[in-house]
Amino acid sequence: MNSQTVKDYLLLHFIVLIWGFTSILGLLISLPALELVFYRTLIAAVGVGLVMVWRKKNILVPPAELIKIAGVGVLISLHWIFFFWSAKVSTASVCLAGMATTSLWTAFVDPIINRTKIKWYEVALGLLVISGLVVIFQFESGYWLGLSLALLSAFLSALFSVFNAKLTFRHTPYQITLFEMAAASLFALFFMPIYSEFLNDGAPIQWEWKGLDWVWMLVLSGICTVYAFSVSVELMKRVSVFTINLTINLEPVYGILLAVMVFGEKEKMTPQFYLGTLIILFSVLIYPVLNYWNKRRKAIRIIN
């Protein structure tokens, strides 16, 4: 293993560590979930747009494709709204425990959308995840809303990931991110009156930033979104997709450890919570291994 490969692996883990810090930033920022998503996606869209202008990248895409990209942007907006909402009504650890199911949601969503066969081990791992959730719900019933929102966010994450995989064959990652972030920001903006009236008991929208909100928002939008995205795209040129996906599965582990370090006693849960989380993480981590083994077995059959 050469020095460049080692640097790439370390950088990949650093990016995943940054993503694990996202839910913590959501708790540090005083803004409610919807307003937070609006500002995050707006700043990210502007940031990516500036990067594209600086690097002289092509921005324009055909109108029909723009509608598809914008539709995925709406899914991303909803995903982040439920993500930060989950963290704010529970804890960062509960939010990340639910988000750990994303790759398994993908295992079921992808075959349905792309009309492929569901694999037996995906069903088995799905049942294992459910058992982990049952353990958590049984002993942490006070966090049922937060965990439910996180599961919904994880499902939406799987959904937009599958659609994004198709878009990447026709457009650059910068084009996709620019218009998805812009669409996500617009959706959050237009959704605000509905949210305020029907979901937040008529409470006014909180536009003002307080204290260090501007610092955490710049970190969230600049480092966790624009920087992390740009570096992950660059790493895809040198690191295999299997390695990247396997490492991303460690995001909940990094996030929960960071949450305990930052918030201390507030983030400490019962032993049963961590048992249920470990069951979920085990199923998530073992999935890429089983998937790789299954593809290799099929390849050997074809050769023979």
SS3 per-residue string spanning 109-140: HHHHHHCCCCCHHHHHHHHHHHHHHHHHHHHC
pLDDT at site 70: 94
pLDDT at site 12: 84
Tell me how far apart the alpha carbons of residues 135 and 237 are, in angstroms, rounded to a whole number. 40
pLDDT at site 236: 66
Tell me how far apart the alpha carbons of residues 20 and 25 are, in angstroms, rounded to a whole number. 10
Judged by phi (left if over 0) then psi (alpha if -120 to 50, else beta), residue 295 lies in: alpha
At residue 216 the predicted structure's pLDDT band, cuts being 50, 70 and 90, is very high
Look at the chain and report how many structural domains it folds into.
Answer: 1
pLDDT at site 140: 64
Query: Could you identify the residue written with the tokens 């294992």?
Result: 128
Tokens representing 231?
């570096």
Instruction: Find the range with the poorest average confidence among 7-21, 26-40, 269-283.
Output: 269-283
- Whether 221 has a pLDDT exceeding 60, the answer reads yes
Tokens representing 95?
């939010």
Q: How many CB atoms lie within 10 A of CB 273?
A: 22
pLDDT at site 22: 87
pLDDT at site 187: 96
Tell me how far apart the alpha carbons of residues 87 and 83 are, in angstroms, rounded to a whole number. 7
Closest CA to 83 of 129, 162, 19: 19
Query: pLDDT digits over 259-279, tens only?
Result: 888 887 676 777 887 788 788
Instruction: Say if CB 109 and CB 159 are below 8 A apart.
Output: yes
Three state DSSP letters for 143-195:
HHHHHHHHHHHHHHHHHHHHHHHHHCCCCCHHHHHHHHHHHHHHHHHHHHHHH
Instruction: Say if CB 120 and CB 42 are below 8 A apart.
Output: no
Query: pLDDT digits over 58-92, tens only?
Result: 888 889 999 999 999 999 999 999 998 998 888 88
Return the higher-pLDDT residue of 221 and 301: 221
Query: pLDDT digits over 89-102, tens only?
Result: 888 888 888 887 77
At residue 177 the predicted structure's pLDDT band, cuts being 50, 70 and 90, is confident
Tell me how far apart the alpha carbons of residues 279 and 289 are, in angstroms, rounded to a whole number. 16
Tokens representing 63?
């109108």
- Whether 291 has a pLDDT exceeding 60, the answer reads yes
Tell me how far apart the alpha carbons of residues 154 and 288 are, in angstroms, rounded to a whole number. 17
Tokens representing 127?
């049942």
Instruction: Say if CB 255 and CB 20 are below 8 A apart.
Output: yes
Residue 284, helix vs strand vs coil: helix
- Whether 151 has a pLDDT exceeding 60, the answer reads yes
Return the higher-pLDDT residue of 238 and 255: 255
Query: pLDDT digits over 122-142, tens only?
Result: 777 777 877 887 777 676 667
At residue 240 the predicted structure's pLDDT band, cuts being 50, 70 and 90, is low
Instruction: Find the range with the poorest average confidence among 168-172, 204-208, 266-270.
Output: 266-270
Average pLDDT over residues 164-183: 84
pLDDT at site 45: 92
Residue range(s) defining the domain that contains residue 196: 3-303
Return the higher-pLDDT residue of 106 and 87: 87
- Whether 245 has a pLDDT exceeding 70, the answer reads no
Instruction: Say if CB 138 and CB 8 are below 8 A apart.
Output: no
Residue type, 63: P
At residue 292 the predicted structure's pLDDT band, cuts being 50, 70 and 90, is confident
